[in-house]
Structure 1
Amino acid sequence: MNFGNALDAPPGEGLELSERYFEAVRQAGFDTVRLPARWAGHAARTAPYPIDPVFFARVDRAVGLALAHELAVVLDLHHFHEMQDDPAGNTDLFLALWRQIATRYADRPSRLWFELLNEPRPPMTDEQWNALVEPALAVVRESNPTRTVVVGPTAMNDLAVLPALRLPDDPHLAVTIHYYAPFAFTHQGAHWVAGADRWLGTSWGSAADLAAVEADLRRAADWAGDAGQRLFIGEFGAYERADPAARARWTRAVRQTAERLGIGWIYWEFGTDFGAYDPAADAWREPLKEALLGPDRGTATPS
C-alpha cells in the first residue's frame, strides 16, 4: 500500500500518517508500504544540501511505525521535478540527498528498501537516467552495501521502455514499473491532467480490456525473466471519479494478473483521491479492499 499524498505533499498539506493507518494496513493483510517523500522540497539548495531535520524526523516516524508493525517499506525520492528538467544541474543535489538518506537509515532492517527516483520522465532521457543510476547506487553502497535498491525505467516508469533501462552489476536490485493503463479510464476527471473531464464515464471490463492487461504485464514479466531481475508494480490505481464497480474490476484484474505472473505490487494509494481507505469514515472501501485482498490472492510482496 502506498501512503501517497502524505510525505510527498507540499508543506502543511496532505494526509497525516496516524499510527492507526499503519495498524489498519497490517491488520487488513497488506505486508508492504511505500513511503513517497519529497526530499528535495526539504533540502538546502547549496552544498552540502542538508535535509531539514524536522522533515527527517517525520520520515523517521513513518519508517519506524511501518517497521514496528512488521511491514516492509519502500522509501522513495518523490516529486524531484528539477531533476527531470535539468539532470546535470541537479546531480550534486540528487547524490547529496541519497548520501544523507542512506546514512540515516543504514542500521534499519533489510526489509527497508530505497527507491532512487520516482517516475523519471522527459525531458530526462534514457541515456541521462542510465548515467545517473550507477553513481547514485555507489553513494547508497557507501553505507548500505547489501540493501535492496529499486530502479525504474523512464517515461514515468512505463513498462514499454524497460528494454532501455541499463542496470549496474549489483545483486541487490529490484525493478519497478507503474501501471495506469488505460489512462483515460484510470485518470478520468483528474484535475491535474488536461482534458481529463472528457473521459468521465469511461468504463472498463470487456474481454479486450482484460486481454490488454494480460499482454502488458506479460511483456513486463518476460523482460524481468530475461534480465534476471526482480520486478514489482510500485503504483497502480484508478482515480475516485471512475465508476466504483469498474474501479474494483480493474484493480482486481491488475492484481490477479500480476500475481499470476510473479510480479509484486503496491497499490496507489491509501487514503486520498485514489484511496482504498476512507479516513473520514475510518474504514476501508470494501470493494477496493476485496479487489486487492480477496480470497484468490497470491502474494503481494515485491520480492
Structure 2
Amino acid sequence: MLRTLAGREGFVRIGGDMALGAGMNLGNALDAPPGSEHAVSPRGRYFDAIRDAGFDTVRLPVAWAWHAAEAAPYVVEEDFFRRVDRAVDAALARGLNVVLNVHHYHQLTDAPDEQAERFLALWRQIATRYADRPAPVHFELLNEPRAALTAERWNALLPRALAAVRESNPERTVLVGPAEMNDIHALPKLRLPDDPHLMATIHYYAPFPFTHQGAHWVEGSAPWLGTTWGGAADRGAVADDLALAAAWAADHGVPMFVGEFGAYERADPDSRARWTAWVRECAERLGLAWAYWEFGTDFGAYDRATDTWREPLRQALLPAR
C-alpha cells in the first residue's frame, strides 16, 4: 500500500494518480560525474532515513548521457543501468514513490538539434527497462532545459520524447517542465502535449542571491554572503511566485510538482530554515507536491558523517512528522 500523502492536507488524487507529496532529491549520486570523490552512494540506509523521516517520494536525478555511447544506437552501459535499478528498487521496497529523470545532459542543451536522436534513444532504453515497474515510478523527461534548448526547441522535442516513452509505457505518469531551467516564469511558454498522464514540474531557488550565496559554481556569488531572508516582502514574493505556478497548473488541468528547492549551506542557518519552511508551507497550501534539493551534500538536509538529519531543515520540511 502506498504511503503517499498519509496525513497530509492539500494534496489530492488527480486523474487516478496519487500526487507525489513530500519528496527528497537524492542529488549528487547517480548524477555525479564519473569518478567524483564527492558522489553520494545510494545506500539502503539512506532510503531508510528518507522513509523513516516521513517523506513520500525520492527524486532520482540520473546523468545517463555520461554512461551511454556517443554513436547510434547510443547504448547505456549495463553496469550503470544496474546501479539505477538498485536505487529504484530500494525506494520501491520502502514504499516510496520514485521520480526518475534525465539529468546533466549538457550536450543536449548546448546542441539540441545534433543530440535529439541520442536523447530519444536514451528514453526508449530507460522506458523499456522500467516498463515493468509499478505506477509509483514516474519519468521526468529532462532536468532544466536551457541554453540552446529554447522554449521553441523544447516544445518541438518533448512530444517526440513522450512518444518514445509511450511505446513501452502507455500510462506511466511523465513529468514535463518548461525551458529556462524549469523557471516558474517560463511556464507560459510551455506547450504540453495532449496526454492524460502528464504532470508539470518547476524548480524554485528565488531569491537567487540568497539561495546561492557563496556557491563556488556561480560567478559573482561571493558578495552575496551574509544575505538573510524572512521579512514580509520576502514571504510575499515567494507566495506570489508559487501562486503563479498553481494557477498555471489549474488552467492546464495538470498536477504540479516543485521538483527542486533549497538553499546552499553557506546561507545563514536561521534564514535557510525559515525560507525552506515557507516554500514548503506555500506549496502545500496551494496543493503542490514538492521535493527538497537535496539529501546529503552542499544543500543537504542530512548529515552523512553522523547519519542524522539536520534538525532545523528536517523540521522545516516535515513539521508534523
TM over 0.5: yes
Q: Tell me how far apart the structure 1 counterparts of residues 29 and 63 of structure 2 sit (CA, whole Å).
A: 9
> Alignment partner of 2:292: what SS?
coil
Q: Look up the match of 2:250.
A: 225
1:4 to 27, 52, 62: 27
1:277 equivalent to 2:302? Answer yes
> Alignment partner of 2:248: what SS?
helix
The Cα shift of 1:157 comes to 0.1
Q: Look up the match of 1:143.
A: 168
1:167 to 165, 174, 192: 192
In the TM superposition, 1:10-21 aligns within 5 A as 10-13=33-36, 14-21=39-46
> Alignment partner of 1:235: what SS?
strand
- For residues 136-165 of structure 1, the C-alpha deviation after alignment (integer angstroms, 9 at most, x for no partner) is 000100000000000000110000010110
2:95 to 55, 70, 75: 70
TM-score of the superposed pair, with normalisation by structure 1:
0.97
Q: Are the equivalent residues in 1 in contact too, given 2:112–2:148 (CA < 8 A)? A: no
1:84 equivalent to 2:109? Answer yes
1:110 equivalent to 2:135? Answer yes
The Cα shift of 1:275 comes to 0.2
Q: Look up the match of 1:250.
A: 275
Q: Tell me how far apart the structure 1 counterparts of residues 149 and 116 of structure 2 sit (CA, whole Å).
A: 12
Q: How many residues align?
A: 296
Q: Tell me how far apart the structure 1 counterparts of residues 163 and 64 of structure 2 sit (CA, whole Å).
A: 19
The Cα shift of 1:11 comes to 1.1
Structure 1: gaps spanning 5 or more residues: 298-303
Q: Tell me how far apart the structure 1 counterparts of residues 166 and 52 of structure 2 sit (CA, whole Å).
A: 34
Q: Tell me how far apart the structure 2 counterparts of residues 174 and 82 of structure 1 sit (CA, whole Å).
A: 25
> Alignment partner of 1:102: what SS?
helix
- For residues 159-200 of structure 1, the C-alpha deviation after alignment (integer angstroms, 9 at most, x for no partner) is 001011001110000000000000000000000000111100
- How many percent identity over aligned positions? 67
Q: Look up the match of 2:7.
A: none
2:50 to 25, 30, 36: 25
The Cα shift of 1:12 comes to 2.1
**Using CA pairs below 8 Å that are at least 6 residues apart, which structure has the higher relative contact order?**
2
Q: Look up the match of 1:156.
A: 181
- For residues 243-297 of structure 1, the C-alpha deviation after alignment (integer angstroms, 9 at most, x for no partner) is 11111000000000000001110000000000000000110000000000002x8
The Cα shift of 1:124 comes to 1.5
Q: Tell me how far apart the structure 1 counterparts of residues 123 and 150 of structure 2 sit (CA, whole Å).
A: 21
> Alignment partner of 1:191: what SS?
coil
> Alignment partner of 2:28: what SS?
coil
1:97 to 119, 122, 125: 122
2:208 to 183, 186, 196: 183
Q: Look up the match of 2:232.
A: 207
Q: Look up the match of 1:58.
A: 83
**Which runs of 4 or more aligned residues in structure 1 lie more than 4 Å from their structure 2 counterparts after TM superposition?**
none
Q: Tell me how far apart the structure 2 counterparts of residues 286 and 263 of structure 1 sit (CA, whole Å).
A: 23
Q: Tell me how far apart the structure 2 counterparts of residues 229 and 63 of structure 1 sit (CA, whole Å).
A: 25
Q: Tell me how far apart the structure 1 counterparts of residues 190 and 178 of structure 2 sit (CA, whole Å).
A: 6
In structure 2, give the amino acid aligned to 1:3. L
Structure 2: gaps spanning 5 or more residues: 1-23
Q: Look up the match of 1:263.
A: 288
The Cα shift of 1:123 comes to 2.1
> Alignment partner of 2:123: what SS?
helix
> Alignment partner of 1:266: what SS?
strand
The Cα shift of 1:109 comes to 0.5
In structure 1, give the amino acid aligned to 2:90. L
- The RMSD of aligned alpha carbons is 0.7
